Structure 1
Amino acid sequence: MAFLNTVLEPPSYGWTDEDGNLAKPTNAIILKEFFSRLNVFRDKKNWLSFLSWFLVLALTPFLFLFIFKYFSIVGLIVAFVYSMIIMGTHGTIWHHRYCTHNAYTFTNKFWRFFTQNLTLKIIPEEIYAVSHHVHHALSDQPGDPYNAQGGFMYCFLADVNHQPVARNMTEACYKKCVNLMKHVGVTPNTYKQYQKWGTIANPYRTVVGIILNWGFWFTAFYLMGGLPLACAIFGSAGFWAVGVRTFNYEGHGKGQDKRREGTDYNREDMSINQLWPGYVAGEWHNNHHLYPKSARSGFKPHQFDLAWCYIKLMSMIGAVSSYRDSKKEFLMTYCNKDGVEIPVTKLAVKYAEVKPVLVRVK
């Protein structure tokens, strides 16, 4: 816990105010911090934050080309499906359940590489995974990198202002940080390289990987449907990359307690289950905070989990060797023997006592 309290680079306005409460900077201060941390000419250690938003800007021309030159209803449908469903679900499969929570394991490196590159590469794994560990450890508390109580802009620009790893870690702490991502397949910087670049990821390998990923997918989409299809998909990917930054603000009730009886069983934070992100990306967020290491978060009959469908399919074909599935534990704890939900106020079992089961695929 002490390590996770210090693993992220604190913003200039700090995590807490003088009274120890969450520091709530104005939007002007948040924007000033944002542009300061994007400035690679002032500090080259800002390279990863700069790259994250540069990729969004690089996709913008494709969006404009699609809207003003290649627009069609079919293209719009393709763009919607790709951005809202494919990109969203892949984010849950890869960044969320694998990179951060290691909720399942691949049989070999090929299937890991295959899953990693199923879509356009936009969000660097390091920015997401390390900070998400902190999010769970300090959910809705000062230090949570996207604390919804800080406001919309506090969450929306968190990837630059709050999520980068600390730049002054000792070698021992840096090794712990690298250990959080050892299963992801990102070749880490040496400690000396980290002192130079301020990141786990190496800038050269990262940029080359993105170029190869984008080059492959642009060629594939161009061969399938020419520039209209390529522009529709690349443009929609950029649209998703901006929209996904709003999720945690919405997923934690916009800083208010919007949890519902019989729907949101985790009472340790303000996370809520929402139909839209649940259906299009498998992101049943309150369920996930209840069982963060589960490869499935859609537990009830109506909670369709597309990310889980992919993981389960991969296990059936031998690409995934093991996974954690907490559905049985959820039903045993929060429903009676007839499957009827038990009201939160009447639950006798503590959440911390329930552990997910690891399933090994034969």
Structure 2
Amino acid sequence: MKNMNTPKNSSLENESNQITINTIATLIIVLLPILGAIVGIKLTLDSQVSLIDIGMLGIMYFLTMIGFDVGCHRYFAHHAFQTTTAVKSLLAILGLMSSQGGLLYWSVGHPLHHKLSDQPGDVQSPNLEGNDFWGKLKGLYNAQVGWVFKIANDGNDPENIVKFEKAIKDPLILKINELQLVWIILGLIIPATLEGLITMSWMGVFKGFIWGGLVRLFLVQQFAGTISSVCHMFGDRPYKTNDYSTNNFWLAIPTLGGSWHNNHHAFPNSAYCGLEWWQIDISNWVIWILEKTGLIWDVKKPTPSMIKARKLQNSSTN
């Protein structure tokens, strides 16, 4: 009997299968850290949390959040500075460990978030589902976590791939991005292995996996998500922008400065989000150290006169 599947049908079937696989993988990456957080709560209630657990959580959180904020966002999306192949490779790996979308999204898709911010076509906006309570709640969910399902299959689009390759122009970074799932898994294995070696116990392996792996991933996902959700609905707006972006002081530390989001939308290519001396921006400090050591250069930031001019522009439109 002849095979009735034409090459076109076979191609469509393969694409459909890939979409299903990508969606399932994304669902696992979202749900597994939630289960880990529940286990973490149980361990805490049972007084089974050690300083090693907390240290592993803190170190892994800091490294992967820097990878997300300094790497995926400020470097790959906004080209806010230049750096060496080694540094950008490390930032890429740490950023991918944060599970906040691949580098294809940040280099190709995220610029649309600024071009179409809080307008149809902005996959990260919380303000496109209506103004009633349920619309706002649905919008918050979309900006917090729902958007990762929308971009899960961006890598299947040949046009996106071409744009990505043109934007990156580095075969090593392209290869690193292809291994996104590997880096996420390594982000779970590394703390488990380290804590197991430190404590010389299988319980150490388990707790390292929970605290440095899953709980860390849960916290990174949630706090990174607040930049798109909370920081487009609640907070201060010192700069008038064509969207609803806001600044949130109380999120500055866990987001490493990403919550100065209205500043960011006012000066999107700036390596610095905290523009006032009192605005805590830990990512700024990391960038400053890297610049002083010569590991990065051509760091973009607005001058005091540019900031003043923008504020005058805002006041003149009130």
How do 1:67-106 residues align onto structure 2 when only pairs under 5 Å count? 67-69=41-43, 71-72=48-49, 74=51, 78=55, 81=58, 87-106=64-83
| Residue aligned with 1:152, SS | helix
**Partner Cα separation in structure 1 for residue 198 and residue 94 of structure 2:** 16
| Residue aligned with 2:300, SS | strand
Q: Is the 8 A contact 1:64 1:235 kept in 2?
A: no
Residue 216 of structure 1 deviates from its aligned partner by: 3.4
Aligned partner of 2:269 in structure 1 is: 293
Residues 285, 211 of structure 1: CA spacing in aligned structure 2 closer, same or farther, 3 A cutoff?
same
**Partner Cα separation in structure 2 for residue 85 and residue 212 of structure 1:** 16
Over residues 238-260 of structure 1, what are the superposed CA-to-partner deviations in whole Å (9 max), with x where a residue is unaligned? 32244133431211116xxx654
Does residue 202 of structure 2 align to residue 223 of structure 1? Answer: no
**Partner Cα separation in structure 2 for residue 59 and residue 242 of structure 1:** 9
Residue 56 of structure 1 deviates from its aligned partner by: 3.7
**Partner Cα separation in structure 2 for residue 245 and residue 164 of structure 1:** 19
Q: TM-score, normalised by structure 1?
A: 0.65
Aligned partner of 2:88 in structure 1 is: 112
How do 1:46-61 residues align onto structure 2 when only pairs under 5 Å count? 46-60=20-34
Residues 241, 50 of structure 1: CA spacing in aligned structure 2 closer, same or farther, 3 A cutoff?
farther
Q: Is the 8 A contact 1:140 1:269 kept in 2?
A: yes
Aligned partner of 1:160 in structure 2 is: 149
Residues 63, 82 of structure 1: CA spacing in aligned structure 2 closer, same or farther, 3 A cutoff?
farther
**Partner Cα separation in structure 1 for residue 168 and residue 310 of structure 2:** 33
Show structure 2 runs of 5+ residues with no match: 1-13, 130-138
**Partner Cα separation in structure 2 for residue 232 and residue 154 of structure 1:** 26
Q: Is the 8 A contact 2:117 2:125 kept in 1?
A: yes
Aligned partner of 2:214 in structure 1 is: 235
Q: How many residues align?
A: 281
| Greater share of helix | 2
Q: 1:187 aligns with which of 174, 178, 199?
A: 174
Over residues 85-133 of structure 1, what are the superposed CA-to-partner deviations in whole Å (9 max), with x where a residue is unaligned? 55444421111101211111212x2222233344744233234443211
**Partner Cα separation in structure 1 for residue 192 and residue 53 of structure 2:** 18
Aligned partner of 1:245 in structure 2 is: 225
Q: TM-score, normalised by structure 2?
A: 0.73
Does residue 257 of structure 2 align to residue 282 of structure 1? Answer: yes
**Partner Cα separation in structure 2 for residue 251 and residue 85 of structure 1:** 21
Over residues 321-358 of structure 1, what are the superposed CA-to-partner deviations in whole Å (9 max), with x where a residue is unaligned? 331122434444246xxxxxx5832279xxxxxxxxxx
Q: Is the 8 A contact 2:65 2:98 kept in 1?
A: no
One-letter amino acid of the counterpart of residue 236, structure 1:
V
Q: Is the 8 A contact 1:130 1:165 kept in 2?
A: no
RMSD: 3.5
Aligned partner of 1:345 in structure 2 is: 315
Show structure 1 runs of 5+ residues with no match: 1-39, 189-199, 336-341, 349-362
One-letter amino acid of the counterpart of residue 131, structure 1:
G
